[in-house]
A and B are shown apart, each in its own frame.
Chain A
Amino acid sequence: MSGLRIEDLRLTIGRSEVLKGISLDAPGGVITGLAGESGSGKTMTGLAVIGLQPAGSRVSGTIAFDDGDAGVPNLLDLSPRAMNRLRGRRIAMVFQDPTASLQPMLSIGTQLTDHVRHHLHLDKRAAAARAIELLERVRVPDPENAVRRYPHQFSGGQLQRIAIAIAIACDPAVLIADEPTTALDVTVQAGILRLLRELTDDLGLAVLLVTHDLGVMSAVADTVAVMRFGEVVEHGSRYQVIREPRTEYAKELIAALPHTPAPGAGVDDEEAR
């Protein structure tokens, strides 16, 4: 089974210790949620995995990436060149704001295929076919026309679907999703969460989902790691962490939410128990 095993991950920027020895398993086919307030280190953990931590930061520990037949390298030991070969191909990322993460001046088709052609050495025709296939996969309507259009011609939800298509274009094993639905309306968010679940199950992705929204966490994450001040204070199944939190901090975090179920939302609480 592919996936990530993080051990004693430390990250320091200047004198401040942003990550203080994180250990976490994120196996394939599983959405591992990272929860916590801003400044807890959840985003930095995701960035360290894909090697995009801020310039000048020092990282130590182990991020073992089990890439099947390709071996189990510690990502922190790889040369920048070797990391470049993995980034965007085997390890991909989706960011919070798709209007910022997509290039406004390039067509969707170009953005979907540039890295595919680079990493997988596909010719133009094969890459164009792959672009359309990807847009179908993430259910962007009318893919043949969509590849010729530009980011400003799409809604936020469609753009996030496109960003996800770009991320999965080279068939990655690991996907970092940092607040992927925070900029979206709830009804649009619901669609993206379904897509994320479906892709994880179908492609066997190891997903690291960074979100401050415990409702989102509860909907799609299989396990939840609660972070605070650069440490994982609690990690368990979503049910255990959300319903029976063991640490004081996790209890507080959950108590801070207006999370009483809405009646329109399906099974009611009684039934669920």
Chain B
Amino acid sequence: MTARLEIDEATVTYRQPGRRSLTAVDHVSLSLEAGEVLGLVGESGCGKSTLARAVCGLEPLASGTIRFDGEPVGKLGLRPRESRQRRIQMVFQNPYASLNPRRRIGAQIEDARAVAGRDAAPVERLLEQVGLEPAVARRYPYEFSGGQRQRIAIARAMAAAPEVLIGDEPIASLDASLQARIASLMRDVALEQGASLLFISHDLSVVRVIADRIAVMQAGRIVEEGPTDRVWSDPRHPYTRRLLAAIPIADGLGRLPAEA
């Protein structure tokens, strides 16, 4: 089986005026199979969001390649993107910023359905998939809470019938009681439609619940990658161990997590 998404030695650098250029993503290689959920974890500044942006063409690569179904993903420019590559869709961190406040939910989902063409699922079906009423389509984003907006953003991404769905910290701005629920929802809707999911988060304990494989990123590099259970129960890289040890556990015992 060939990978749906193949990231090969991808490097992204940022020029900084008056300073050395910064390598945000440093020779990263990862692959995502069809119907697979890959969790990408790391702390702020490790380059995980930059990598996500590169995958959908929002950041140019300094070197290396990113291939989607064998075809290189180009930098997104002013021209419309090659239609095939619109099957990569993204759910962003902040649903308050990613939805257009001036347009009805239904209209925003319709736009994404146009990408899918004949494959497009009906709006009601898309909303139902994320646990929302069909009547939501006539309303505006401001009428919804953060969690509901993120459900809408997921419905919109799925409307384009994506083959690769990327979530860039999609749960970071949500309530704890919602985080696991929305993460699982993303996994379910992606897999149901046969899409692969690249789920990016700084929260290992949530990623663990939904990912088949986990990749751990530190300072632009992938330091460890493997099946979720293995990474969780037998972390090999010292950084992964540090991350795991720092998670406070709700066991009621008053144990302070280890300091880095």
Residues of A with Cβ closer than 8 Å to B?
37-38, 156, 185-191, 193-194, 197, 212-220, 222, 238-243, 253-254, 256-267, 269, 272
Contact = CB atoms under 8 A, between A and B. Distances in A.
A264 B245 contact: yes
Given A190-B257, A265-B244, A258 B209 contact: yes
A219 B259 contact: no
Given A264-B235, A264-B241, A258 B208 contact: yes
Contact of A194 (B177, B178, B244, B256): B256
Contact of A218 (B178, B180, B248): B248
Contacts of B44: 156, 185
8 contacts: A190-B260, A215-B249, A219-B248, A258-B208, A259-B205, A262-B205, A265-B245, A267-B255
Given A186-B246, A193-B248, A257-B250, A212 B177 contact: yes
Interface in B130-187: 175-178, 180-181
Contacts of A253: 177
A37 B178 CA distance: 9
Contacts of B208: 258
Nearest to A37: B177
A215 B252 contact: no
B260 A213 contact: no
Contact of B175 (A38, A215, A242, A272): A38
A219 B255 contact: yes
Contacts of B259: 187, 190-191, 194
Contacts of B204: 186, 262
A214 B176 contact: yes
A189 B246 contact: yes
Contacts of B248: 186, 189-190, 193, 213, 215-216, 218-219
Contacts of A254: 250
Contacts of B243: 186-187
A193 B250 contact: no
Interface of B: 43-44, 175-178, 180-181, 202-206, 208-209, 232-235, 241-260
B154 to A, nearest CB: 19
Given A186-B204, A262-B249, 7 more contacts: A190-B248, A214-B176, A218-B248, A219-B257, A220-B254, A239-B253, A265-B249
B176 A266 contact: no
A242 B242 CA distance: 25
Contacts of A216: 248
Between A186, A189, A238, A241, the greatest number of chain B beta carbons within 10 A of the residue's beta carbon is seen for: A186
A263 B256 CA distance: 15
B246 A219 contact: no
B9 to A, nearest CB: 27
Contact of A215 (B233, B245, B247, B258): B247
B253 A193 contact: no
A212 B203 CA distance: 14
Contacts of B205: 215, 258-260, 262
Nearest to A241: B252
Given A187-B259, A187-B260, A265-B247, A219 B254 contact: yes
B245 A262 contact: yes
A265 B209 contact: no
Nearest to A269: B251
Given A190-B257, A190-B259, A242 B250 contact: yes
Contacts of A218: 248-255
B246 A266 contact: no
Contacts of B252: 218, 238-243
Contacts of B209: 258
